[in-house]
């Protein structure tokens, strides 16, 4: 699949926003602990990816009810659904001058179409040294999910099954999609939100 940039300028993928709030003190403190000037952009991306994947719990996996949205909230509480985790990963990488955007998939929510569909969020990172965008998914691994950092071949959390009307959206968005932000702002119980209220399409 050929990825399509929403913005023409790479610098747009470095912007700070309400959700990608990397000037927040808690984010700045974490970046000082994770990164140092001797690291390459690829090393920094791998470190940030593995931190968000492994150290920030997915709300559904831990059956946590707290809804987080801003990157600083996700880091402070160390939990969130995929939308929230993508905000944190973008925040960490943009703070280091690494262009990072948002990508989405339409997936079955659980194990069959009858149980509904949802929009799943992941990130795309631009590596200047490689002159290419790479999609990575820091959703969090568990039995049946094995997402890895890879610059050669995508190793995402979820393969797309087109027979069941799943799909990859090709656009790399500058900001989180409004539908994903809306659902996070409208709900206070992450488990009910995840099970019944996630958007089914963009």
Q: How many domains is the chain built from?
A: 1
Among residues 4, 27, 51, the alpha carbon closest in space to that of 172 is found at 4
Full domain range(s) for residue 83: 4-197
Q: How confident is the model at residue 111 (pLDDT cuts 50, 70, 90)?
A: confident
188: in domain: yes
Our measurement of the distance from residue 118's CA atom to the centroid of its chain's CA atoms, rounded to an integer in Å, reads 15
Has residue 84 got a pLDDT over 90?
yes
pTM: 0.98
158: in domain: yes
112: in domain: yes
Relative orientation angle of helices 25-34 and 82-94, to the nearest 10 degrees? 70
What residues contact 16, with CB distance under 8 A and at least 6 apart? Answer: 22, 23, 94
85: in domain: yes
Has residue 4 got a pLDDT over 90?
yes
50: in domain: yes
150: in domain: yes
> pLDDT tens digits for 19-69?
999 999 999 999 999 999 999 999 999 999 999 999 999 999 999 999 999
- Residue 75 belongs to a domain with what CATH number? 3.10.620.30
> pLDDT tens digits for 142-190?
999 999 999 999 999 999 999 999 999 999 999 999 999 999 999 999 9
Look at residue 5 in the predicted model and tell me its pLDDT.
98
202: in domain: no
């Amino acid at each position: 699949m050929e990825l399509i940039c929403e913005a023409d300028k790479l610098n747009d993928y470095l912007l700070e926003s309400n959700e990608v709030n990397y000037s927040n003190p808690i984010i700045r403190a974490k970046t000082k602990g994770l990164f140092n000037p001797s690291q390459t952009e690829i090393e920094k991306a791998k470190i940030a990816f593995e931190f968000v994947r492994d150290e920030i719990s997915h709300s559904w996996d831990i059956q946590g009810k707290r809804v987080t949205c801003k990157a600083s909230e996700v880091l402070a509480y160390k939990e969130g659904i995929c939308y929230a985790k993508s905000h944190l990963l973008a925040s960490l990488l943009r703070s280091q001058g690494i262009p990072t955007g948002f990508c989405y998939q339409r997936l079955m929510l659980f194990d069959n179409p009858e149980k509904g569909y949802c929009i799943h969020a992941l990130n795309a990172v631009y590596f200047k040294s490689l002159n290419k965008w790479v999609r990575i998914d820091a959703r969090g691994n568990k039995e049946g999910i094995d997402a890895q950092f890879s610059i050669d071949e995508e190793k995402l959390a979820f393969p797309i099954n087109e027979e069941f009307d799943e799909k990859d959206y090709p656009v790399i968005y500058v900001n989180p999609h409004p539908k994903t932000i809306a659902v996070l702002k409208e709900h206070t119980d992450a488990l009910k939100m995840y099970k019944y209220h996630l958007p089914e399409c963009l």
